[in-house]
Amino acid sequence: MKENIAGRVGRIITSSVNALVDALENAAPVMVMEEAIREVDGVIDEVRTELGKGVAQKHLAEQRLADNRKRHTDLSQKAQVAIKEGRDDLAEAAIEQQMDIEAQIPILEKAVAEANKQHDELEGYISALQAKKREMQEELRRLRAAEAKASAPGGGEAAAADSKSYAAKAEKATSAFDRIMEKNTGLPKGGSGTDNAAKLAELEELARKNRIKERLAAMKASEE
């Protein structure tokens, strides 16, 4: 995984949602939080891309390792046949090839182990980012509720409903958000996403709920 992505994930997870909104004061916090969530989605997409690359590399390393082990066994059998036939020269050739394979196997085993480690790490990053996103979505719901209350008759300044004023705040929010997020999290300006982001999010949420049920079942079983 690229180090810059790992660093960005770490900064996002350790950042404070409230601190981000407070730093922007009255600069349309709802829009700020919506943009922040889109930025997190963008990083999740980048991690998924790295995960896909890692899966492909892991498959290649595992296939090469399996092929080499099979070839090593095949050469052993051929060497034994050559010895029985009194062809030590052929047996030596087979053994020489075996030694070359033996020199490669530890490297391939290490590559597979590292691929497995990276796979687990990337999946952990996605889970952590999804958790952070849920935290931000909860804050967004709170902000929307507060904004709706302030916009209600007698509940706050009527200027909140003025479209020109809102547009000015939105522009201020976007500019402030870009500065703060790019400085503190390393995220680039502008949102990002994919056409199937909603489906992937739904799938991940379904998987998360399933893990919750499994953990609950395990806890119940331990009490019996």
Domain range for residue 209?
198-224
Whether residues 188 and 215 share a domain: the answer is: no
Q: In the prediction, which pLDDT does 18 show?
A: 62
Per residue in 164-221, pLDDT tens?
444 454 444 445 445 544 554 444 544 444 445 566 666 677 766 676 667 666 765 7
Crossing angle of the two packed helices 29-84 and 163-184, in degrees rounded to 10? 40
Whether residues 173 and 208 share a domain: the answer is: no
In Å, how far from its chain's centre is CA 172? 30
The pTM assigned to this predicted structure is 0.58
What percent of the chain has a predicted confidence (pLDDT) above 90? Answer: 18
Average pLDDT, the chain: 75
N-terminal to C-terminal alpha carbon distance within the chain: 43
Measured distance CA(162)–CA(28) in Å, rounded: 13
Whether residues 222 and 176 share a domain: the answer is: no
Assign 116 a pLDDT band (cuts: 50, 70, 90).
Answer: very high
Rounded average pLDDT over 119-123: 90
State how far the alpha carbon of 35 is from the alpha carbons of 41, 72, 113, 128, 199, in Å: 10, 56, 38, 19, 20
Q: In the prediction, which pLDDT does 14 show?
A: 74
- Asked if 111 and 29 touch (Cβ cutoff 8 Å), the reply is no
Rounded average pLDDT over 117-143: 88
Whether residues 37 and 106 share a domain: the answer is: yes
Tally of domains in the chain: 2
Whether residues 97 and 155 share a domain: the answer is: yes
Where do we find the tokens 């916009």? 151
Whether residues 139 and 204 share a domain: the answer is: no
Whether residues 39 and 146 share a domain: the answer is: yes
Measured distance CA(27)–CA(22) in Å, rounded: 10
Retrieve residue 89's tokens. 């020269």
Q: Residue 160: pLDDT above 50? A: no
Whether residues 75 and 60 share a domain: the answer is: yes
Name 13's Cβ contacts closer than 8 Å, sequence gap at least 6. 128, 129, 132
Per residue in 26-39, pLDDT tens?
567 778 788 888 88
Rounded average pLDDT over 47-73: 92
Whether residues 80 and 186 share a domain: the answer is: yes
Measured distance CA(212)–CA(114) in Å, rounded: 29
Q: Residue 70: pLDDT above 90? A: yes
Burial class (CB in 10 A: 0-12, 13-18, 19+), 199: exposed
Q: In CATH, what number is assigned to the domain containing residue 186?
A: 1.10.287
Q: In the prediction, which pLDDT does 107 show?
A: 95
Whether residues 182 and 202 share a domain: the answer is: no
Per residue in 78-101, pLDDT tens?
888 889 888 888 999 999 999 999
Whether residues 77 and 147 share a domain: the answer is: yes
Where do we find the tokens 């020489």? 96
Measured distance CA(100)–CA(168) in Å, rounded: 69
Burial class (CB in 10 A: 0-12, 13-18, 19+), 185: buried
Whether residues 61 and 75 share a domain: the answer is: yes
- Asked if 208 and 63 touch (Cβ cutoff 8 Å), the reply is no
